[in-house]
Amino acid sequence: MTTIAIVGAGAGLGGAVARRFGREGFDVALLSRTQEHVDALAADLGREGVNARGFAADVHDPAALAAALDAAASDLGPVEVLQYSPIPRQDFMKPVLETSPADIEGPLAFSVVGPMTAVQRVLPGMRSLGRGTLLFINGGSAVQPHPDRAGTSIAFAAESAYARMLHDVLAGDRIHAAQLIIPGAITPGHPRKDPAVLADTLWAMHRDRTEFRRYAEPLES
């Protein structure tokens, strides 16, 4: 079997996705800023029978992110599924009239340069496999901009455009790009936004390979 690489892996959604894909036979590469954090998560998953390994990388550092994905492919095997789902920083969410050009640099590095770096690193391996899935996880401001969260609204919209273009141009290569919109917070016990439920949704998106975007729940108008 091949590998799923989870960029922005945490104990919540990242752990749930690791368990869901691990049950299907995938090896799991966990990427986050802190090696201790991903090592602890990998150890927990290992006790549940999931072959997981942690790799430290900050998505704001393209060279480090590329190196971590290279190491994951070398250690675990080609990356067939890439999930890009790091959590944005609070300082990305200033009101629009208080957001300067300098303030947008961080969100764009996080939500555009980061995923572009990751995708370009894993695409050659996906092409060699003859298949692949690119999963982008975003909040509701990706499609419904919020004036109090200008940085993420702008950057998520750009990430959405990038992901949509990938969906269109890579389909002929059997590489499926898709986006899951999660309005509000991921909530344990919620019927649609519990981490395990979202992991099932992402597995279905990987398997169905049709539509570009799904919503964990409808957006409020």
55-92 pLDDT per residue, tens: 999 999 999 999 999 999 999 999 999 999 998 888 88
Identify whether 124 is part of a domain. yes
Domain count, the chain: 1
Identify whether 196 is part of a domain. no
- Residue recorded with tokens 């430290």: 56
- Digit-coded pLDDT (tens) for 137-158: 999 999 999 999 999 999 999 9
Which pLDDT does position 105 carry in this prediction? 96
Examine the pLDDT at 1 and tell me if it is beyond 80.
no
Identify whether 209 is part of a domain. yes
Average pLDDT in the chain: 96
- Pick left, alpha or beta for residue 168 (phi over 0 → left; psi -120 to 50 → alpha; otherwise beta): alpha
The HSE-up count of residue 169 (CA atoms within 13 Å, CB side) is 7
Q: Taking the mean position of all CA atoms in its chain, how far away is CA 194?
A: 17
Q: Is 81 helix (H, G, I), strand (E, B) or coil?
A: strand
Q: Give the mean model confidence (pLDDT) for residues 118-136.
A: 98
Residue 38, C-beta contacts closer than 8 angstroms, at least 6 positions apart = 9, 30, 31, 32, 54, 55, 56
- The rounded percent of the chain whose pLDDT value lies above 90 is 94
Examine the pLDDT at 221 and tell me if it is beyond 80.
no
Closest CA to 26 of 171, 164, 189, 135: 135
Quote the CA–CA distance of 14 and 2 in Å, as a whole number: 17
Which pLDDT does position 110 carry in this prediction? 96
Which pLDDT does position 14 carry in this prediction? 97
Identify whether 195 is part of a domain. no
Q: Taking the mean position of all CA atoms in its chain, how far away is CA 75?
A: 20
Identify whether 98 is part of a domain. yes
With cut-offs at 50, 70 and 90, classify the pLDDT of residue 21. very high
Identify whether 221 is part of a domain. no
- Digit-coded pLDDT (tens) for 87-126: 888 888 899 999 999 999 999 999 999 999 999 999 999 9
DSSP 8-state assignment for residue 112: I
Contact 166, 123 (CB under 8 A): no
* Domain hosting residue 157, numbered range: 3-189+201-215
Which CATH number characterizes residue 40's domain? Answer: 3.40.50.720
Identify whether 182 is part of a domain. yes
Identify whether 52 is part of a domain. yes
Q: Give the mean model confidence (pLDDT) for residues 22-42.
A: 97
